Structure 1
Amino acid sequence: MKAVVCERPFALDVRDRPLPERAPGEVLLRIRRIGLCGTDYHIFAGNQPFLSYPRVMGHELAGEVVEADMASGLVPGAVVTLNPYLPCGECIACRKDKPNCCTSIRVLGVHVDGGMCEYLAVPQAAVIPAGTLSLDQAAMVEFLSVGAHAVRRGETTAGDHALVVGAGPIGVAVALFAKAAGAGVTIADTSRQRLDYARDAIGIPDGVLVDDTIEATLAERTDGEFYDLVFDATGNARAMEKGFAFVAHGGSYVLVSVVKQDISFADPEFHKREMRLIGSRNATAEDFRTVIAAITRGDIPTDTIKTHAFPMAEAPSRFPELIADQGSVLKAIAIL
């Protein structure tokens, strides 16, 4: 079968690899769509903290069942999406029903080879029927679930004032589910192009351009009170540190991003505000179900979220183009 392999930073190639063999308890899938995300771009650029090379990327996946155990209920040809976070099932996090932060988690496309290939065998528990979703929509479930999980971690409720920093795919996902929870949502980014697209195509009308005056701008917009909830989806350590200043007294700061560097904050300000600092990692099956239901209801504008599509074999040439033109890229999908 064909697979796209990241041999080392900035080196992608299409390789021939053996077809996977399905073990009992696994499902053999024909991969049909691969969504590309910041993690993949970071892997390509050598900035992903949990990875060794070479690696087959791809964790935002849609496929069709080829073969499964009889008792699984999965029939050949069924469209499915994947929960790419493979837990051990035994550690303290798993025992607390938090498999998304398992101490020994293996993430497809990060810790183990992922789905940027023609066929993939995965544990049955990772396979989630997509119902009436299209292949493109099924490939978007994972990243939208990361946003839904962050909103749930922040205990977002109606009437909250939420600031989402970062108008890329994860930021947009957070904004959509915070809005669905009844929060008033403001999205901030350094790219006017991204903010305009979030407003015109996604339905997030309140956007703020990040510049040297951002703290003063947000203070003026909120009468100096700032935001009940701040979500960071930038993947930028400096932005993550800056975001502490945007949290209201008694508010919460949800870090959806992950970076290699240490980040720091002013302890007096943190305590003065009695701020909650919350990590949000990955997503759970509950979040996947939430997203599938929302897409099925027509609540998520998947047609405008997908901005680019191309055959998987073109990935080596397309990756540098996509990174160079991030302002116009919301969600790119590779097609098989």
Structure 2
Amino acid sequence: MNIEQNKHPAAAQAMACGTVVEPGLFRIEQRELPVIAPEGWALVDIAAAGICGTDYHIFEGKHPFLNYPRVIGHELSGRIARSTGNWAEGELVVVNPYLSCNHCRACRRGKPNCCSSIEVLGVHRDGGLCARIAVPEENLYPATGLSEIQAAMVEFLAIGAHAVRRATLSAEDRVLVTGAGPIGLGAALFARLSGAEVHLLDISQTRLAQAREKFGFTDTHLAGSDILSGPLADGFDVVFDATGNAKAIEAGFPLLAHGSRYVLVSVVKETISFSDPEFHKREAQIIGSRNATREDFETVMTAIREGRIDTGALCTLTLRLEDLPARFGELAEDREALIKAIVTL
């Protein structure tokens, strides 16, 4: 894979942008610095950006909804560049990167996270791994009481919080989260806050050890073990898949208890198949969980402010944008011990 940095000097009113030019090629390019925002939008000077599985998948050519080249970055915090009627210059904000049309049936029914014409920053349009972006004001939330680094972690945690809300958990539920990466950990943390009994399943002993040591999850299982034995023989009331792997998703169906829910958080290109008789016998539900809403962002920010989410344990490392070209390939290839890398600008 080719990792390189554009050496051309920055022109006046230009900014550096972290761009995946094509699969396997990440570099810093110069783009024009936005100085005027459309009506109803605001200019945001990016403070920090999380690198997530979506960004790695874009780099690896595995994302199903993307055209190249693309400025990546959708886990964003920033400061208002110019005051508006709603925002003061310098105010710290969390960016909701899901730009909805506000007109389709989903939007009209209060589900902008699955808008039929949705554009996600860093996926469908250029993202925020750059000095400044323009964002609809309705997609900005005040990050009161949060640091710039914490504010950049709200979005990925909101994915897990949304999945948990979709599952309508209760304290009586026995939950299995498959995939102990950042999204899976987020789902597990908010499932635990709901009072449910939470188990984690992963192919990596390293990730399971982190879940135990950093976050106190005692019920962890290595993939391939006989998980349906003893007190777990009846299966799980709710299974969350956060693996991004089609085979792992299919392997989750037999783990469902009768009367259970299967929440698919990860996205894969492949077709998923399962045994219909077994599925109907269980009267199970399949629930897709996509993105997050303002309610989920607010849930996460409240949990961070109240100290119920340890953001320090989630942030594995921080680095500056200019250092990323030399590190991106390494981060993409070895993510086993990496929870969250945050790029500061």
Asked whether 1:14 is paired with 2:28, we answer yes
Which residue of 60, 72, 75 corresponds with 1:60?
75
Report the CA distance between 1:221 and its aligned residue: 4.4
1:91 aligns with: 104
Asked whether 1:267 is paired with 2:253, we answer no
- SS of the equivalent of 1:308 reads strand
CA distance in 2, matches of 1:223, 1:48: 35
CA distance in 2, matches of 1:108, 1:23: 16
Any conservation in 2 of the 1:83–1:127 contact (CA below 8 Å)? yes
CA distance in 2, matches of 1:155, 1:282: 17
TM-score after normalising by structure 2: 0.94
**Distance 1:223-1:86 versus aligned 2 partners, 3 A rule:** closer
Which moved further from structure 2: 286-295 or 308-317?
308-317
1:104 aligns with: 117
CA distance in 2, matches of 1:221, 1:286: 38
CA distance in 1, matches of 2:320, 2:248: 34
Which residue of 10, 17, 34 corresponds with 1:3?
17
2:180 aligns with: 167
CA distance in 2, matches of 1:115, 1:38: 16
Report the CA distance between 1:327 and its aligned residue: 1.2
Identity of aligned residues (%): 51
Asked whether 1:241 is paired with 2:254, we answer no
Describe the superposition over 1:214-249 as per-residue Cα deviations: whole angstroms up to 9, x where unpaired.
3xx221143420100000000000000110111100
Any conservation in 2 of the 1:25–1:69 contact (CA below 8 Å)? no
Which residue of 301, 305, 316 corresponds with 2:314?
305
Pairs within 5 Å for 1:272-291? 272-291=281-300
**Distance 1:223-1:151 versus aligned 2 partners, 3 A rule:** closer
Asked whether 1:225 is paired with 2:213, we answer no
CA distance in 2, matches of 1:320, 1:7: 14
2:197 aligns with: 184
Which ranges in structure 2 are unaligned for 5 or more consecutive residues? Answer: 1-14
Any conservation in 2 of the 1:164–1:185 contact (CA below 8 Å)? yes
CA distance in 2, matches of 1:222, 1:179: 19
CA distance in 2, matches of 1:133, 1:311: 20
CA distance in 1, matches of 2:231, 2:62: 35
Describe the superposition over 1:238-278 as per-residue Cα deviations: whole angstroms up to 9, x where unpaired.
00011011110000000001001111111011100000000
Pairs within 5 Å for 1:25-40? 25-40=40-55
CA distance in 2, matches of 1:2, 1:145: 28
Report the CA distance between 1:318 and its aligned residue: 1.4
1:151 aligns with: 164
Task: Kindly provide the amino acid, as one letter, of the partner of residue 249 in structure 1.
Answer: H
Asked whether 1:193 is paired with 2:206, we answer yes
Q: Which structure has the highest helix share of the two?
A: 1
Which residue of 204, 210, 223 corresponds with 1:210?
223
- SS of the equivalent of 1:323 reads helix
Matched residue count: 330
Pairs within 5 Å for 1:127-146? 127-146=140-159
Over the residues paired in the alignment, what is the CA RMSD in angstroms? 0.9
- SS of the equivalent of 2:309 reads coil
Asked whether 1:81 is paired with 2:94, we answer yes
CA distance in 2, matches of 1:264, 1:143: 28
CA distance in 1, matches of 2:144, 2:115: 28
- SS of the equivalent of 2:292 reads coil
- SS of the equivalent of 1:17 reads strand
2:12 aligns with: none
Which ranges in structure 1 are unaligned for 5 or more consecutive residues? Answer: none
Any conservation in 2 of the 1:237–1:261 contact (CA below 8 Å)? yes
Which moved further from structure 2: 202-211 or 162-171?
202-211
- SS of the equivalent of 1:5 reads strand
CA distance in 2, matches of 1:41, 1:223: 35
Task: Kindly provide the amino acid, as one letter, of the partner of residue 327 in structure 2.
Answer: R
**Distance 1:223-1:184 versus aligned 2 partners, 3 A rule:** closer
CA distance in 2, matches of 1:222, 1:268: 25
Any conservation in 2 of the 1:307–1:332 contact (CA below 8 Å)? yes
Any conservation in 2 of the 1:37–1:331 contact (CA below 8 Å)? yes
CA distance in 1, matches of 2:60, 2:220: 29
